[in-house]
Amino acid sequence: MENEREVPKIVARDERRTPREGGDAVVSEIVASGREVMRKAGVAAHDVVAGGCSAPGPLDHVSGVVIQTQNVAGFTNMPLAARLTDGLGVKTFLDRDTCMAAIAEATVGAARGAKDFVYITVSTGVGGAIVTGGRMVRGASNTAGELGHFPVAFQTDATRAVDDDIPRCGCGSFGHVEAFAGGANLAAQFGAGGAGDVFAAADAGDERASHLIIRAERALENLAVGVVNALNPQVIVVGGSIADHQPGHVLDPMRRAIAERAFRTPASAVRLVPAALGADVGMHGAVLEARERVAGRAAWFL
C-alpha cells in the first residue's frame, strides 16, 4: 500500500452463506471463499503477506481461538486462525468483528486522530469497541466493548420480578441494548423477516412497529448517555446496517440524549458521528489489522 493512511482498495470479493452443519463446515467454506478471492485477484498464497478474519466473541485474538459464539454453529474453542492458516497457506490473524471495525475507523475512518473513542455498531446485533488513551480496552478476558449487552432496562414495579415484561437478549439475560435495538430482535418481536420490515411498517403507520422502534431508540439513548458519562470519549463512531439506513432512529436520538441528559463537561467534549467505511468496514479492518500485526505496529490494539 503506497499510502498507509488510505482506505484499502478491494480488488476482489466472494460472499457466501454461513453453513449450519457445524464448525468444520464453516471453516471449509471460509477457506474455499479465501481461495476463490485469491483466484479472482490473480495472486497465489505465497504472494499474500497475511490474512485477517473477524468473528463474534468471546475469542482470544492473540492465540486465534474462538472460545464460544451463539451465532456460528460449532464454534466452541475453535482454533480458527490456525485452521485458516493451514487451509489457505497464508498466515491469518483473528479478532472480534467490532474490534476490527474500530481499528479501521481509527486508522482510515471517522475516528482517525482520536485517542479516546468508542465504536458502536447497530445492525443485526449491537456491539462495540473502546479505545482510551490511544489503546484498545480488551479487559481481563477480552470481552471489553460488548456494549450491546449493557443493561438499560428493568421492571420498575418492586412487587414484580426484575425481568417481568422485559425483552430477553440472545445471551440469556434481559434488558440489554441489543434486546431492544438489535435488528434480529426487532424483527422477531414484530414477527417480521428483518428489521427493515419493522421500519417500513412504522412509516406506514403501524402502531406496534412504532412502539418497538421508540423502545429501541430509548435503549440507544441510554447507552449513549452511559458511554459519555462513564468513558468521556472524544468521538463516538456509530456504524452498522441499521445506523446506515436509519440514522434518524439511531444517530439523531443518541445525539439528542447526550445533549439533554449527559454530564455537561463530557457532553461538550464528544462528537457522535456516522462510521465512514460503510458495509465494508469489517474487510478494511481485517486487512489493516493483519498488516499492522505483521509489521509489528499492533501494540495499541493488542
**pLDDT tens digit sequence for 115-158:** 999 999 999 999 999 999 999 999 999 999 999 999 999 999 99
CATH of the domain at 52: 3.30.420.40
Q: Is residue 86 part of a domain?
A: yes
Q: Is residue 121 part of a domain?
A: yes
**275: helix, coil or strand?**
coil
Beta bridge partners of 209: none
* In a shared domain, residues 161 and 291: no
* In a shared domain, residues 86 and 181: no
Residue 229 C-alpha cell reads as 458519562
- Rounded CA Rg of the chain: 20
H helix intervals, the chain = 23-41, 80-88, 97-108, 177-181, 183-190, 195-203, 207-231, 241-245, 251-261, 264-269, 281-295
Q: With contact defined as beta carbons under 8 Å apart, do 187 and 195 qualify?
A: yes
* In a shared domain, residues 114 and 146: yes
Quick one: pLDDT at residue 1?
33
Quick one: pLDDT at residue 2?
36
Beta bridge partners of 136: 131
DSSP secondary structure letters along 32-73? HHHHHHHHHHT--GGG---EEEEE-SSEETTTTEEEE-SSST
Quick one: pLDDT at residue 4?
58
Which residue's C-alpha cell is 474487510? 283
Quick one: pLDDT at residue 71?
74
Q: Is residue 300 part of a domain?
A: no
* In a shared domain, residues 144 and 290: no
What are all long-range contacts of 88-91, with beta carbons under 8 Å and residues at least 24 apart? 88/31, 88/34, 88/35, 88/38, 88/45, 88/51, 89/45, 89/46, 90/34, 90/45, 90/48, 90/50, 90/51, 91/49, 91/50, 91/51, 91/294
Q: What is the pLDDT of residues 59-118, one digit of tens each?
A: 999 999 999 887 787 889 999 999 999 999 999 999 999 999 999 999 999 999 999 999
pTM for this entry: 0.94
Q: With contact defined as beta carbons under 8 Å apart, do 93 and 52 qualify?
A: yes
Tell me the residue range of the domain where 38 lies.
23-97+282-295
Chain length of the chain: 302
Quick one: pLDDT at residue 72?
82
* In a shared domain, residues 165 and 245: yes
**Structural domain total, the chain:** 2
